[in-house]
Amino acid sequence: MARFIFVTGGVVSSLGKGLSSASLGYLLKSQGYKVRIRKMDPYLNVDPGTMSPFQHGEVFVTDDGAETDLDLGHYERFTNISAKKSDNITTGKIYSDIISKERRGDYLGKTVQVIPHVTERIKQFIKKDIKNEDFVICEIGGTVGDIESLPFLEAIRQFSNDIGKEKTLFVHLTLVPFLKSSDEIKTKPTQHSVKELRSIGIQPDIIICRSQQSIPLDQRKKISLFCNIPIERVIETVDVKTIYEAPISFFNEGLDKQVLKFFKIKPKKKINLSPWKNVTKIVTDKNLKVINIAIVGKYVDLKDAYKSLDEALVHGGIKNNVKIKIIRIESDKLRISEIRKKLIDASGILIPGGFGKRGTEGKIACINYARKNNIPFLGICFGMQMAVIEFARNVLKIKKAGSSELDNKCFSVVGLIEEWSKNGKIVKGTSTKLGGTMRLGLYKAKLQHNSKIKDIYKSKIIHERHRHRYEVNIKMKKKFEKKGMLFSGLSPDNNLPEIIELRNHPWFIGVQFHPEFKSRPLDPHPLFSSFIGAAKKNNEKPNN
C-alpha cells in the first residue's frame, strides 16, 4: 500500500524542495522501503526541452527518454533510483492532454474546467504507474501563493480526501530568515506561508525550516504554536557546506523518524550514513589537492545550466581524492588571443552539450589548444562534434568543415540524423519540430578492442543517455582514423559514432551521450573518474 508525501514550498523559491525530497527518499529507502519521487511543475511548457538553460537551468534526461526538470537529477543522485517519464509533469502537458481530449469529443459536450478536469488529470498523474512502492514523494514546483501552483495544491487536497488522510502527509518548506540588524531569527514569514496553505484547505504535517543558523527552541515553539503542529515536527535545515551533508542533517533532525511515526510504521533496518560522511569529508577537506577544470560553454553564467555536469566532476574528484575547482569560460566572448591566458591554469578542459552557432568558434579554439598541448580533454555531445570539426579543419585540412546545424553551406562532417533504431522501430530525424523529437534516452554502444574507452568502462557494451539530433558523419570514419582519431564506440548497427578518441594524446575523448546523468556521489561515473585522474596526473607535471 503506497503512502503519499507531498512537498510544498513557501516564502521564496529555490529553498531546496528538491534536495529535501531527495534526502527523505534516500533515508526511507535506506530503512528498507521502496520509494518513488515525482515532480509537478507549474509552467505552461509541455516539458523543459525547448526552454533556454538561462530560463530553467539544465534539462535532465531519463532512461526512457523524458526531458525533465533538473530536480529529477537530485532524486537519482541521492537515491540511485532511475526516474521515468511518469515521474514529471507540467501544467503544459496537463492542458495539452485535456485540450486534445476535448477536441476529440471525449468530454461529451461538458464544459471543461479547472475543477474537476484539470485537478482530476493531476490526480491521475500522482497515482499512475505505481506498483509496489511503499512511499511516493511528490514535489510541487513553485511557491504557495503563486497562481500557477493553485490547481496542483487543490488537486493534492482532493487526493488526500480521496484516499484518506492517514495515507497522505504534507511537508511544507519555508524560509526562517535571520535579520542581522536586529540580531533576530524571524518566524513570521513561515507563519504567513502556512496560513496561505491552510486557507486552501491544506494543514502541513511537517514544516522544514530553512535557515542560515540554528533555530532556538523558543522560535521552534512559536512555529509549532502558530502553525498547529507538534514541535518535534518542526525540522530545521541549516545551510550546509555541501549538498551531500543534507541526508546526514535531516537524519540528525529526525525527519525520516517523524514520517514513519506519522504513518504508524517502523523502520525495517538501520541506516548506515558512513558513505555520505566519507563523501562529505572529502568534499570539505581544505587540505586536499585542488584540480582546475575549465568548462567552456555559453551558459556558464548560470550554474544550474550544467548542474549534473558540475556534480559529476565533483564525483570524479571524490574518486581521486582531490577537490575540483571549476573555471567557467564563456565561449561567446572568448577571443583567440586570450585562450592561452584563460586556460594556462586548467589541468583539464571540458566542452559540454549545447545547441546553436553562438560561441562555437571559441569552443573549437579551446579544443585545438587542448589537442596541441596534451591537456586532458572531454567533449560531451555538442563538445564531441566540435572536436571532430576542429580535427577535420586542422588535421585533415578541410577548411570548410562544420555542422549542417550551424551552416548549411559547410563541408558537413556533422549532420542531422536521418534515422535511428529504438526498441526495434525506426525513428526518423527532424529539425522542423523541436519538442521531444531528438534521439532521447538510453541507447546501447559497443566499444572497440584496444581502446582507452574500453579500458575505462571495462566492458564491451555500455548503455548511456542521449539528447541530440545531429551526429558525426560515419562516412568520414576511415579518413579520421587514418590521421589518428579513433571512432572507438559505435551504435550496434555501426551507423552512429558514439565515441571518439585520439591515439597520440594522453587523454582526449569525445562522447555523443551525456554520462553526467548517470554519475552518483556514492558511485562516480567511470568516465569522469578517469578524466579527473588524467587531469590530476597532468597537474603533477613539473611545469604545472
Burial 182-215 (b: 16+ CB within 10 A, else e): eeebebeebbbbbebbeeeebebbbbbbbbeeeb
Dist CA 377 CA 380 (whole Å)? 10
| Alpha-carbon distances, residue 272 vs 76, 275, 276, 283, 506 (angstroms) | 19, 7, 9, 19, 39
The helix (H) or strand (E) run that includes residue 38 is strand 35-41
338 annotated active-site: no
209 annotated active-site: no
Q: What is the DSSP letter of 214?
A: P
Cis peptide before 116 (omega within 30 of 0): yes
Q: Which of 74, 366, 516, 525 is catalytic?
A: 516
Q: 104 CB contacts (<8 Å, ≥6 apart)? A: none
311 CB-contact burial (10 Å; exposed 0-12 / middle 13-18 / buried 19+): buried
Dist CA 137 CA 201 (whole Å)? 20
Strands 439-447 vs 485-490: parallel, antiparallel or unpaired: antiparallel
Q: 3-state class of 282 per DSSP?
A: helix
Q: Where are the beta strands (DSSP E) in 298-390?
A: 323-330, 348-351, 377-380
Q: 215 CB contacts (<8 Å, ≥6 apart)? A: 176, 185, 209, 234, 236
Total length of the chain? 544
The answer to whether 470 and 416 have CB atoms below 8 angstroms apart is: yes
- Nearest by Cα to 240 from 540, 16, 499, 544: 16
Q: Cα(first)–Cα(last) distance of the chain, in Å?
A: 59
Dist CA 350 CA 227 (whole Å)? 49
Q: Which of 381, 464, 466, 501 is catalytic?
A: 381
Q: What is the DSSP letter of 458?
A: T
Strands 377-380 vs 439-447: parallel, antiparallel or unpaired: unpaired
516 annotated active-site: yes
| Alpha-carbon distances, residue 189 vs 144, 212, 293 (angstroms) | 12, 15, 40
CA atoms lying within 13 Å on the CB side of residue 449: 0
The C-alpha cell of 37 is what?
Answer: 519521487
Q: Which of 466, 505, 514, 525 is catalytic?
A: 514
Partners of residue 77 on adjacent β-strands: none
Active site residues: 381, 514, 516
